[in-house]
Structure 1
Amino acid sequence: MKEAIQYHIFKQVQDNPEITQRELAAKTGISLGKVNYCLQALVNKGFIKATNFKNSKKKSAYLYKLTPQGLEEKAKLTVRFLKYKMDEYDRIKAEIEELKKEVQGSRAEGPNENSLGSEPNGHSRRQANVF
């Protein structure tokens, strides 16, 4: 299971222990089947405890709770996830700076043969001949 998925499941379960698998799938953007698979794996690892309860609609549902081991794993995962996101931010920031330099460089050079008659989207500005 990818760490990003595990992190989001931990976060949602900790924030809302009565969350349904369908709600969890919607909030995490993964399929219901994958949510079920991941929850079972996290229960089997001892990170989450699932308990049956009757919800307000008189239906049987599960209450999900992070175990002490799950809380510890979530803390470690949060640090790794934050580092990953910060690295991603730095990469994107550097790429944006390179693109800005490229755009400024192309403006300084002025229009060339390839850019004459082109819009920024690459489409030609030429009009069709009408007879």
Structure 2
Amino acid sequence: MVHRVMGASGVDVRAVRTLVSDALVKGPAWVDLGDVDLITSEVATNARRYSASGLPGGGVWVAVLHAANRLRVEIRDDGGAETVPRIPDETAESGRGLLIVAALTTRWGFWVGTNHKREVTVWFEVVGGTAG
């Protein structure tokens, strides 16, 4: 199921984290909820920081999908970003969050919508209880 999470002054990152953790209460026992919370926070914060999701009334669409050995979370922003998600080079002074995402997940990635808004969906997966 896909849910919209909004906030008066931009997407409420805490509400996104709560939505994902609540969806996993009866989810796979092997999932490290702390890791998923950290990854979700990073992705939602990037949506708030770099897209229209950070504007008043902005939000994200969130999907949490899980099966016996796979968890997938997708977070789609409101578009308008001037860049796409990327892991920075070694000399960058910021942007280390996606390194955390890469380290704690089995796979992650993104796609950019083809309409004029260019919404970005960032997704991550953890498989079989082992990340990375």
Q: TM-score, normalised by structure 1?
A: 0.26
The structure whose Rg is larger is 1
Relative contact order, higher structure (CA 8 A, sep 6+): 2
Q: TM-score, normalised by structure 2?
A: 0.26
Q: Which has the higher strand share?
A: 2
Q: Which has the higher helix share?
A: 1
